[in-house]
Amino acid sequence: MFTLGLVIASAVAPRVLTIILVLTVILLGSLGLELTGGGELALFGGYEGVLTGVLVVYLAFAFLINEMFGKGIFLLANHFALD
C-alpha cells in the first residue's frame, strides 16, 4: 500500500521515477505471491527486480550527472500529464 501511494504521489516527478515505482509494486506483488508456491513467479520477480535495479541506477546517475553539468545530458522525461 505504501509503494502504491508513492506511485500516485510521483505523478509530478520525472516519468522514470513513476515507472520505477510501478515496477516495484509489481515486484513486491510477484514475490509475495511466490510464497504460495509459484516458482514461475519467483523467476519473473527476479528478472523484474533486475530491470528495476537497472532503472534505479540510470535514474541516480542521470540526476547526478545532469546536476553536475548543469544541463540535460541524460534523458529524464517530464512527468505524466494529469490534465
- Residues 55 and 33: their CA atoms lie apart, in Å, by 23
* Whole-prediction pTM: 0.77
**Sign of torsion over alpha carbons 9, 63, 73, 67:** positive
Q: Which amino acid is at 53?
A: G
| pLDDT given at position 77 | 67
| pLDDT given at position 73 | 83
Helix (H) or strand (E) holding 30: helix 15-34
Residues in the chain predicted with pLDDT less than 50, given as ranges, are: 83
| pLDDT given at position 50 | 94
| pLDDT given at position 52 | 93
- Residues 26 and 20: their CA atoms lie apart, in Å, by 10
What's phi and psi for 45, nearest 5 deg? -65, -35
- Residues 28 and 8: their CA atoms lie apart, in Å, by 17
